[in-house]
Amino acid sequence: MKAAEAIIKCLQLEGVNTVYGYPGGAVLPLYEAMRKLDMKHVLVRQEQSAAHMASGYGRVNNKVGVCIATSGPGATNLLTGLATAHMDSIPLIAITGQVNSKKIGTDMFQEADVVGASESFTKHNYLVKNAKDLPRIIKEAFHIANTGRKGPVLIDIPKDIQDEEIEFIYPSEVDIRGYKPTISGHSKQITRIVEQINNARQPILCLGGGISSSGCNKELVEFVEKAKMPVVCTLMGVDGFPNGNPYFAGLLGSHGYPFVNKAMNKADLIIVIGARFADRSTAVISDKNASQYVIHIDIDPAEIGKNVKTHTPVVGDAGAILRQLNTYDYTSEISSWTGGIMLERKRYMEENLNREWDVQGANPCKLIKSISDKTGRKAVVTSDVGQNQIWTAHYFLADESRRYFTSGGLGTMGYSLPAAIGARMAADNDTTVTAVMGEGGFQMLMGELALVREHDLDIKVVIITNERLGMVRELQLNAYGNESYYGIDIGFNPDYMKLAEAYNIKGYLIEEDSQIDEVLEKAYETNEPCLIQCRVNPDFPTLAHWRWR
């Protein structure tokens, strides 16, 4: 069997039936093998999208997505997507073609050292030097990508090696020296957590993407309802816990709710599960609360204590540790603390949704809240980066069946549309898929709109426009004042209704609040894709208390 055919056979044995990619000279054998072995290939319009689509595809069912690119510029275009997946711990397999093995290092046409370039933002990478190693390498790659702290793995394969003949034997097991992720928490540390909870008066539970990655949403709900403590989350943890649950407080951090950040500073016990506790989350937490006790639970020991001093580190899988914690009873009296935070959440949401803004245009908060209300019990909403990301995180109510996908760590513009395409292809027909973005992010990878029509994908594409790079504008305002706007005006926008028409997609325009429900009713009543443009005033802030105008 040719090595290229062996590669596709390996993918099929791992349960992969769809790959996202863009062909080129260095992957010709691989594409011929896909044709012969009936592997479904989705031709993206830019390689970065292939990684985002594979990410969305894998995140829906908590599996490993696969993307393919040719050597040189194809591989380097893929890198932003891999770095995005790495920061958010999303499992991916990226296969890149490389120039012939004997020509590596000669600056041959379309040669690039993608293994070296991707080393710092892939979980592992391989340059294949012997075709016989390919089945073992692919078996290892899937194991590495989808175990421990999950992440992208890149396999770079020279064209001549793809053409070699090999005896195909796919390994049944993986044994990688030095790679044994810790799953269960140490029993003494589990006991210490229980003691700290029972002694706490103002505890808070902080969730990250490790909850969804572990698939332990039900164990988490059981734990919270036993411990009765308030729950906050990072951007990656928004769909880790039911947002309608009476213990859910909301998003923390630089773009989180002010009452959540205030509570984080007052808490005497913070338990962090499956989160990096990165700067965007911790920037607003004061270090003046010397009596605050921090417990950090994560499967990656390198993350524990990296950004915040930790008193009890616990290495292990979030689900395994929650199951251990659920065997205990909790006796702390914290009802007034928890109730006070929940009351603040209720007031904040009501004040913001009912607030009359002295600006023209639609209210993006009401738009997202209406999308949340309109989508069904099962939904995926992807957001890009910028103001649209924050509005969506605040007002789309998520849980394990209503998922919120975004680029939380790297903040990659252009993520939303391709991630939604991948998610749509993996989700069942009962799931609604909505892609929310600003005009800046949309125009980075807007060519992927062609795939929405080409594959008849029921995706509601929502573009919130204000003719600015809204988040950067907001940052400039808060950093330097309102005379300091620079480089953020989008001087020309296409006619989005005509653009939708050009892609043979129905287009809707929202210019004021009174049109929101009518448009969404039409958009979600059919299984057809559509594009919704929502015009928003550039002075509409992401946070009501931020300085504006």
Question: For the segment 411-433, what is each residue's pLDDT rounded down to a tens digit?
Answer: 999 999 999 999 999 999 999 99
Could you tell me the pTM of the whole model?
Answer: 0.95
What mean pLDDT do residues 197-220 have?
96
Determine the 3-state secondary structure of 271 from DSSP. strand
The mean per-residue pLDDT over the stretch 280-305 comes to 85
Say which of 2, 139, 159, 228 is annotated catalytic. Answer: 159
Residue type, 54: A
Please name the residue that has the structure tokens 């204590």.
305
Q: What is the mean pLDDT of residues 128-143?
A: 98
The dihedral over CA atoms of 370, 371, 372, 378, expressed in degrees to the nearest 10, equals: 150
The Cα–Cα gap between 126 and 104 comes to: 15
Distance CA 80, CA 179 (A): 26
Q: Per the structure block, which two tokens stand in for 455?
A: 């594959």
By the 10 Å C-beta count (0-12 exposed, 13-18 middle, 19+ buried), 107 is classed as: exposed
Phi, psi of 401, rounded to the nearest 5 degrees: -105, -10
Does the pLDDT at position 549 exceed 60? no
366 pLDDT above the threshold of 50: yes
- Rounded to whole angstroms, how far apart are CA atoms 352 and 504? 37
Place 544 in a pLDDT band, splitting at 50, 70 and 90: low
Quick check: 538 and 465 in contact, CB under 8 A? no
Q: Are the C-beta atoms of residues 240 and 208 closer than 8 Å to each other?
A: yes
The Cα 487–Cα 468 span in angstroms is 9
Q: What percent of the chain has pLDDT over 90?
A: 89
The Cα 44–Cα 291 span in angstroms is: 53
Closest to 333 measured CA to CA, from 143, 168, 192, 202:
202
Please, what's the b/e burial string for 373-412 (b: 16 or more CB within 10 A of its CB; e: otherwise)? ebbeebbbbbbbbbbbbbbbbbbbbbbbebbbbbbbbbbb
Contact 144, 124 (CB under 8 A): yes
Q: Provide the pairing of β-strand 506-510 with 459-465.
A: unpaired
* pLDDT band at residue 19 under the 50/70/90 scheme: very high
In 3D space, the residue among 42, 18, 19, 51 whose CA is nearest the CA of residue 445 turns out to be 51
**Helices 47-61 + 73-87 axis angle, to 10:** 30
What is the mean pLDDT of the segment spanning 475-495? 92
Question: What are the pLDDT digits (tens) for 68-80?
Answer: 999 999 999 999 9
Distance CA 226, CA 60 (A): 29
The token pair that represents 356 in the structure block:
């009359």
User: Do residues 147 and 177 touch, judged by C-beta distance below 8 A?
Assistant: no
What residues contact residue 38 under an 8 Å CB cut-off, 6+ apart? none
pLDDT class for 98, splitting at 50, 70, 90?
very high
Please say if the pLDDT value at position 278 is more than 90: no
Residue 283 pLDDT > 80: no
Give me the pLDDT at residue 483, please.
Answer: 83
Q: Single out the catalytic residue among 5, 14, 47, 303.
A: 47
- pLDDT value of position 124: 97
Identify the active-site residue in 1, 40, 102, 109.
109
Provide the pLDDT for residue 546. 56
Q: Is 40 a catalytic residue?
A: no
Model pLDDT, residue 68: 98
Q: Which range among 215-224, 277-286, 358-367 shows the weakest confidence by mean pLDDT?
A: 277-286
What's the confidence (pLDDT) of residue 287? 66
DSSP class of residue 540? Answer: -
Q: Which residues, 6 or more positions from 418, have their beta carbon under 8 angstroms from its beta carbon?
A: 44, 48, 49, 50, 52, 53, 56, 445, 448
Residue 97 in this model has a pLDDT that exceeds 90: yes
b/e per residue, 508-542, with b = 16+ CB within 10 A?
bbbeeeeebeebbeebbeeeebbbbbbbbbbbbbb
Q: Please name the residue ranges forming H helices in 45-100.
A: 47-61, 73-87
Per the model's pLDDT, the better-predicted residue between 481 and 444 turns out to be: 444
Would you say residue 53 has pLDDT above 60? Answer: yes
Work out the widest C-alpha separation in the chain, in whole angstroms.
71
Q: Could you read off the pLDDT of 225-261 as tens digits, one per residue? A: 999 999 999 999 999 999 999 999 999 988 899 999 9
The residue from 110, 189, 443, 515 that is catalytic is 110
Is 387 annotated as catalytic? no
Strand partners, 98: 158
Residue 547 has pLDDT above 70, yes or no: no
Is residue 4 within 8 A of residue 165, CB to CB? The reply is no
Instruction: Let me know if 109 is a catalytic residue.
Output: yes
The two structure tokens encoding residue 213: 């990655």
Q: Which of 46, 471, 476, 540 is catalytic?
A: 471
248 is catalytic: no
Size of the chain in residues: 549
Q: Which residues share a beta bridge with 232?
A: 206, 250
Q: Which pLDDT score, from 0 to 100, does residue 504 have?
A: 97
pLDDT at 45 over 80: yes
Whether the pLDDT of residue 399 is over 50: the answer is: yes
Amino acid at 517: D
Say if residues 212 and 238 touch (Cβ distance below 8 Å).
no
What is d(CA 164, CA 186) in angstroms, rounded to the nearest whole number?
Answer: 48
pLDDT confidence bin for 545, thresholds 50/70/90:
low
pLDDT score at 465: 97
Interatomic CA distance for residues 467 and 312, integer angstroms: 48
pLDDT at position 109 over 50:
yes
What's the rounded mean pLDDT across residues 459-485? Answer: 93
3-13 vs 28-36: helix crossing angle, rounded to 10: 60
Say whether 492 is catalytic. Answer: no
